[in-house]
Amino acid sequence: MTTATITARCFGDGDPLYEAYHDTEWGVPVHGEAPLLERIALEGFQSGLSWITVLRKRDAFREVFHGFEPAAVAGMEEDDVERLLADARIIRNRQKIEATIGNARAVLALHESGQTLDELFWSFAPPPRPAPLVSFEGMMSTSPESVAMAKTLKKLGFRFFGPTTAYAAMQACGLVDDHLASCPVVLARGSLTG
């Protein structure tokens, strides 16, 4: 079978939730403080786990973290952390929970300095690829932009957000488009423009 004849998704085939995420969200541009804070938090929670685990818990994460509205999350305190550590609906990791709260506080500090997370995040977008990737071998796990993003966000107080997590967030939020050329999403784009 040649690469051109593969029509499987880049990932997610066989699980309706995963397929829907791949087809409608992954690689689609995301803007706004709460949606970006959510993606940063979920990428951090995913560290060491499979993405489908996070997707299955996403609604609970949205509930317990107040829709990822930065001010609401930043206002969470130790009793909230303890409550979340007892909530089996989410990934119960103290460092990741505390990092999410700390990252929301870092977003508010950005606002106080006259910046937005949206502007900062998107300032690291690389130029678009000239053509889709043809294989997973061409897919990176970090990039110069993700290294720079992670370094900048760390200086601004963000936690649990290294270069690999930053690159995964860039993929998830549409700063980079790593859909393979043979992916149905890319093939559908071609049929819409052709």
Catalytic sites, residue numbers: 21, 43, 51
Helix (H, G, I), strand (E, B) or coil at 133: strand
Please state, in angstroms and rounded to a whole number, the distance separating the CA atoms of residues 194 and 188.
10
CB atoms within 10 A of CB 3: 10
- Radius of gyration, CA atoms only, the chain: 17
Output the CA–CA distances (angstroms, integers) from residue 69 to 52, 65, 101, 186, in the order listed: 23, 8, 11, 32
Q: Is residue 177 left, alpha or beta, with left meaning phi > 0 and alpha meaning psi from -120 to 50?
A: beta
Sign of torsion over alpha carbons 27, 33, 125, 46: negative
Please state, in angstroms and rounded to a whole number, the distance separating the CA atoms of residues 64 and 48.
21
Per-residue tokens: 179: 């859909």
